[in-house]
Amino acid sequence: MPLKITVIGTGYLGATHAAAMAELGFEVLGLDVLPEKIEMLARGEVPMYEPGLDELLRAHVAGFEGSSGRLRFTTDWAEVAEFGDVHFLCVNTPQKHGEYACDMSYVDSAVESLSEHLRRPALVVGKSTVPVGSADRLAARIAELAPAGADVELAWNPEFLREGFAVEDTLHPDRIVVGVRSEHAEKVLRDVYAKPLAEGSPFVVTDFPTAELVKTAANSFLATKVSFINAMAEVCEAAGGDVAKLAEAIGHDDRIGRKFLRSGIGFGGGCLPKDIRAFMARAGELGASQALMFLREIDSINMRRRAAMVELAREAVGGGFLGKRVAVLGAAFKPDSDDVRDSPALNVAGQIHLQGGQVTVYDPKAMANARKVFPTLGYADSARDAVRGADVVLHLTEWRAFRDLDPAELGDVVAQRVILDGRNALDPARWRAAGWTYRAMGRPAA
Ligand code: UDX
């Protein structure tokens, strides 16, 4: 009998995981506490933009022509507990208000709600990003609450998917990390991931704390890489160097590598910023705060980028934003996503607006989410409409569609041909050839 799988929490991570598990051949039941989310998913609609996810969902959600019917959704904890051999916890762990630490209340309440219904053997698998030590604590809580007692076990299996590549990363992970306390738990997870394992995905077996730390360490490293190149951009700016060339040149050293060395307005999103902060907070609780002091600097370099972009824009419009029209291309925290959580682009747009600029934003997918967070900004239906009459154009999220824009055509509708590339992703020569002043942080002015 193939394993029956449940997925608890159907956000970016859970919705993708549920569809991917169905794709791997399992019967899957997804649960969320928000009925409207569950209703959408059951209709085959994805509540966010993630390339390829709607197709995958419709290939498996019961009720679609030609679908496997292996994927269903519910809001009923008893049904989930009764159904599953393996329960994946995919709820979010946002940053607490006014603190660095992460908010574990969704994980805690999911574990409580599930455990009290667990009357049959099951493996509960945590995927949420949590402070190290949580798995130990949650295992004890499950043992206390689950009627099936020792027949219920916990494992920790961090998730490394990138938004925009979530489907690909889930079906073909570059590594699978499992924190387990028994051979049985390891065996169950080898069965779950049999297909990617057969394709050659490395399988790393660890204890609980290591599995939890792998995730925060990986995200800290990535954040460090981005802030490193952004610090180099600050030096290049002061010294008249070109950070894009510098990144290319150091990236040829394969010990360094080229990835994650794109300088610009820095990292954002629902993961990197809050994960490094939660990591610092947890290290403090463990008496190891000194080890992560450098992350404070990583965070502060990153936040400085947003302010530096605002300053560059101010300079470009002659020293003050009052009465100036500023076009912002991009609102999502990165391309191929509609996620605006801690988005550098939206943050810069908001700062300029608050300082008196008339800001008009366009993003191919993130408009609805941006409007919810920043209803007072202007929004346009296309890049062309956004830049109409603009004194300066800011390129803040590197969507392919923005790279494909025709500088000559846009040049006809702006007030001033000035473009500031906050992502170092446009071709300066192309824009300059069309009569634009092109500027990017850490690169020569002409
Ligand atoms: C990240 C991790 O990559 C993923 O493994 C983890 O599971 C969740 O967090 P994600 O938040 O989807 O994924 O985005 P990612 O692609 O890592 O980008 C993070 C931020 O860094 C974005 O704002 C991006 O624009 C920025 N970035 C990335 C740069 O500024 N420069 C780069 O070179 C790369």
Q: Whose CA is nearest to atom 7 of ligand 1?
A: 160
Catalytic residue from among 90, 102, 236, 271:
271
* Mean local confidence (pLDDT), 330-350: 97
Q: Whose CA is nearest to atom 30 of ligand 1?
A: 266
- For residue 186, count CB atoms less than 10 angstroms from its CB and return exposed for 0-12, middle for 13-18, buried for 19 or more: middle
Ligand 1 centroid from CA 399, angstroms: 14
Query: Whole-angstrom Cα distance, residue 127 to residue 124?
Result: 10
Q: Is 304 in the pocket of ligand 1 (CB under 6 A)?
A: no
pLDDT confidence of residue 119: 98
Question: How many percent of the chain have pLDDT more than 70?
Answer: 100
Distances in whole angstroms, Cα of residue 186 to Cα of each of 14, 20, 179, 203: 21, 20, 8, 10
Strand partners for 73:
30
Q: pTM for the full model? A: 0.96
Q: Whose CA is nearest to atom 32 of ligand 1?
A: 260
Which atom in ligand 1 lies closest to the alpha carbon of residue 259? 33
Tens of pLDDT, residue by residue over 26-64, are: 999 999 999 999 999 999 999 899 999 999 999 999 888
Q: Does position 135 have pLDDT exceeding 80, yes or no?
A: yes
Quote helix, strand, coil % in the chain, to nearest 5.
45, 15, 40
Domain 4-206 - what CATH class? alpha beta
Query: Whole-angstrom Cα distance, residue 30 to residue 115?
Result: 16
pLDDT confidence of residue 62: 87
> Would residue 102 show up in a list of annotated catalytic residues for this protein?
no
Q: Is 399 in the pocket of ligand 1 (CB under 6 A)?
A: no
* Mean local confidence (pLDDT), 337-360: 97
pLDDT confidence of residue 298: 98
Query: Whole-angstrom Cα distance, residue 234 to residue 263?
Result: 10
Q: What is the mean pLDDT of the chain?
A: 97
Strand partners for 122:
152
Q: What are phi and psi of 49, to 5 degrees?
A: -90, 120
Query: Whole-angstrom Cα distance, residue 118 to residue 10?
Result: 20
pLDDT confidence of residue 396: 98
E-strand ranges in 83-121 read 86-89
160 DSSP assignment: -
Q: Does position 334 have pLDDT exceeding 90, yes or no?
A: yes
* Mean local confidence (pLDDT), 393-412: 98
Question: How many percent of the chain have pLDDT more than 90?
Answer: 98
153 closest CA partner among 142, 163, 137: 142
Task: Give the three-class secondary structure for 403.
Answer: helix
Query: For residue 446, what pLDDT band results from cuts at 50, 70 and 90?
Result: confident
Q: Is 258 in the pocket of ligand 1 (CB under 6 A)?
A: no
Query: Whole-angstrom Cα distance, residue 311 to residue 316?
Result: 9
CATH fold group of domain 217-446: Rossmann fold (3.40.50)
- For residue 182, count CB atoms less than 10 angstroms from its CB and return exposed for 0-12, middle for 13-18, buried for 19 or more: exposed
* Mean local confidence (pLDDT), 99-103: 95
What does the domain layout of the chain look like in residue ranges?
4-206, 217-446
Query: For residue 1, what pLDDT band results from cuts at 50, 70 and 90?
Result: confident
Query: Whole-angstrom Cα distance, residue 264 to residue 230?
Result: 7
- Measure the N-to-C terminal CA separation of the chain; round to a whole number of Å: 66
Same fold, 4-206 and 217-446: yes
- In the numeric block, the tokens 């387990």 are attached to 180
The residues, ordered by sequence, that sit 6+ positions from 275 with a Cβ below 8 Å of its Cβ are 102, 129, 215, 216, 219, 220, 223
Task: Find the radius of gyration of the CA atoms of the chain.
Answer: 24
Strand partners for 28:
5, 71
Q: Whose CA is nearest to atom 20 of ligand 1?
A: 267
Residue 15's identity, in one-letter code, is A
Tokens of 151: 């027949």
Ligand 1 centroid from CA 188, angstroms: 31
pLDDT confidence of residue 63: 87
